Amino acid sequence: MTVQLRGPGGQPLADAAVAVEVKGRTGRTSTAKAEMGQRNRQFTPQMLIVQTGTAVAFPNFDTVRHHVYSFSPIKVIDIKLYSGTPAEPIVFDKPGVAALGCNIHDRMSAHVVVVDTPTFARTDAQGQASFDLPPGEHVVKAWHAGQKSPTLQAVKLDVPAAGGTSVLTLAE
């Protein structure tokens, strides 16, 4: 099944987070690990999608120190000035979107999108992401950095037995 995300004007949304909550499959993880690095005074990647319960490391590959923070309701973070990799990763235990910044370098920003399902992807340049889904009614949750809201939008997805493509439009 291919999901294509479009913006309010009909344009494909590249680099959007798409998660499919398959009926009967939910969950947190206690073993997943991910990385939100800092390289060339930028976060890499700009958007990280993880399942609820994932431990995220914040390695600093720059020669300067960074101070990573987030005031987001899903996770408050305050990693004081550091170089290298902090000893403890940060566990993202609530779904939603966490905006990250650096107190030293104002232009540094990124997002961690946390979803309650192991079925997620980032859309390609055409705003598409493909999933292996069983037929039936599921819920798609999606988010794009251009949205005004820091919450994922939920849309019903009906998957026919033959699969196919479903075009979904996100509000601003």
Q: Which of 1, 12, 5, 2 is nearest to 142 (CA)?
A: 5
Q: What global pTM score does this model have?
A: 0.93
- How far CA 5 is from CA of 48, 49, 155, 163, in Å, comes to 18, 16, 11, 17
Answer whether 90's CB lies under 8 Å from 20's CB. Answer: no
Most confident among 67-71, 85-89, 168-172 (mean pLDDT): 67-71
Write the pLDDT tens digit of every residue in 21-39.
998 777 777 889 999 999 9
User: By percentage, how much of the chain surpasses pLDDT 90?
Assistant: 73
